[in-house]
A and B are shown apart, each in its own frame.
Chain A
Amino acid sequence: MNVNPSSPVAAGSQLLSRRSWFRGDREGYLFVFPALLFLTLILIFPLAYAAFLAFREVLPQFAMKFVGLANFKKALSDPHFWGSLRITVFFTVVSVLLHMVLGFVLALMLSQHLKGSVLFRLLLLMPWMVSQVVAGVTWRWILNAQYGAANALLKKIGILVTDLPWLADVHLAMLSIILAYAWQCFPFVMIMLYAGLQTIPKEQYEAAQIDGASSLQVLRFVTIPNLQYVILVTSLMDFIWAFRAFDFVKIMTDGGPLRSTELLSILVYRTSFEYYQFGYASAIALLMLLIVLGFSIVYTRLVMPKG
């Protein structure tokens, strides 16, 4: 603490802080307690129940039987599980990269002290305000091959000659959901990075200018290092949300065509609510949790070794 130890107030506060340090240890628990208790009560039961189910097979008529690791073994040998995993990883990684790049570029643009920046911020944030259900239904309609607005507009502008089967082609469908999901989610990344950009001390930019740095060098040596923490937080949250994306994709493609967009969350949904294999679904969901958790730990260590 930058406190002059010779002033009595400072000395007093230092003493106080040292004393409160010891009391503080336990007081910390007190402050954190309500939130933790709340989460425990609300989410631990469902989580525990899911864990409980994962080791069981749900039988007709509300019966159950313990099957140990059978569900997990089944998942690991199930081509649908691996297929969905591959698809989910692809969707998540591409989405997060896309959001970060798009968000960063826009955040930079918005930080250039332009008149009307506030209006742009408001307008660009709108996709995030719309619910996933509405966005999914609207995008589905817009991307329809025969009568959708997308093909109509692109043909009018001249970019397209024939209709593109956005949601009916195996590869285009994945592209479509990535684009539509990016539309919904980039505002969050953009606003986080924008806020981060505002906190970079101007002196650093001025120093770089004096040193004759190019724009690219400024970016690399001033901007991005300062944004390390916000990039970590934003990309991690974005990753977690993208990995378990559900409502949006279910409405747009329902996992099709030919399961090319069957994300893990959709697989879990189907396994539970359509196949009634609640135990197996729980096992898949737990595997999802482990994967995301593992990734988060590794990723955090990589981006910010000090944590």
Chain B
Amino acid sequence: MRKRAKIIFLYPALISVTLAVLFPLGWMLSTSLKTEPETFRTPPTWIPLEPTFQPYLSIWQMKNFARYFANTAVVAVSATLLSLLLAVPASYGFARFRFRGARLLMSFILVTQMLPSVLLVIPYFTLMRIVGLLNTHLALVLAYASFSLPFSTWMLQGFFATIPRQLDESAMVDGCSRLQAILRVVVPLAVPGLGATSLFTFLLAWNHYLFALTLATTESMYTISVGLGAMIGEFRIAWNELMAAALLATIPTLIVYAFLERYFVQGLMGGAVKG
């Protein structure tokens, strides 16, 4: 009885919320299939009267778009890997060991999140210029890894804490060094947590705008978000193309999410959601 009641109320509620949430995205899709004059029509048409794939074709023909995609992919994947490389040992350290100032250091990591990025951009640009990393993928990779570290560390730390200490210790009793114990025993169990952290960092890197904009001194280093921003012209915006490009840009994130979905929730369950 209860179950039926639930279904009667819950399904419509969920469906209506989902439709409301998807409305802007649906609007983007609809616009991306219109001809330019139709995008300006008032009142707007919901289903394109003259549907066309031309906007998508135009984007694909823009030879630089593929490059923007490639740049973004390289940067996002590298940032994710770097973030994992740093966050895993750090979270392990915080989870397994109690040492002086641990709390303070964790807070310090969090504090770096609190500054607005508009303030960091000029000094970061200067720093990258001094070390000769301007207009490189690496500059963005470093920035994004540092942005995602706080949350990643926090999340993974909670996750490692739920993996019983005895496991690494019995591995060490069996003759492994701590490093081997971590790699062979702890990390495999932490895969969900790693999945969650990866998704989070990937999303952050994929969509970030300000740093990608200013650190690129030539078009060849543009990422997707910068390319999208550049489609907003002074005297003209081709809305249909902009929406098509925006949707294309979202597809990789969806794919990554679809892959990591089961890990993501599991990872959250084990990590940041437990004290």
A residues contacting B by CB (< 8 A) are 1, 3, 9, 12-13, 16-17, 20, 24-32, 34-36, 38-39, 42-43, 45-47, 49-50, 106, 109-110, 112, 114, 118, 120-135, 137-139, 141-142, 146-149, 152-153, 155, 183, 191-192, 194-196, 198-199, 227-230, 233-234, 237, 240, 243-244, 246-247, 264-265, 268-269, 272-273, 278, 281-282, 285, 288-289, 292-293, 296, 304, 307
Contact = CB atoms under 8 A, between A and B. Distances in A.
Task: Tell me what chain B mostly uses at the interface: helix, strand, loop, or mixed.
Answer: helix
The 10 lowest CB-CB distance pairs between A and B, nearest first, are: A31-B93, A28-B97, A195-B268, A35-B90, A131-B207, A46-B123, A49-B123, A229-B275, A196-B273, A230-B273
A35 B114 contact: no
A234 B271 CA distance: 12
B246 interface: yes
A265 B257 contact: no
Given A28-B96, A195-B269, A230-B272, 4 more contacts: A28-B94, A31-B97, A114-B14, A126-B22
Nearest to B39: A141
A181 to B, nearest CB: 13
Nearest to B89: A31
Interface in B73-125: 85-87, 89-90, 92-94, 96-100, 102-103, 105, 108-120, 122-124
B146 A39 contact: yes
A129 B21 contact: no
Nearest to A239: B114
A198 B18 CA distance: 21
Task: Tell me what chain A mostly uses at the interface: helix, strand, loop, or mixed.
Answer: helix
Contacts of A237: 151
Contact of B127 (A17, A46, A110, A120): A46
A244 B114 contact: yes
B118 A265 contact: yes
B167 to A, nearest CB: 10
A133 B209 contact: yes
16 contacts: A3-B166, A16-B173, A20-B169, A26-B99, A50-B119, A110-B14, A120-B18, A129-B207, A132-B207, A133-B225, A133-B228, A137-B242, A244-B115, A289-B111, A293-B114, A296-B114
Interface in B13-71: 13-14, 17-18, 21-25, 27-28, 40, 42-44
Interface string B131-145: 000000000001101
Nearest to B115: A289
Interface residues of B, number: 99
Contacts of A244: 114-117
A285 B142 CA distance: 22
Nearest to B94: A32
A17 B119 CA distance: 46
Nearest to B112: A43
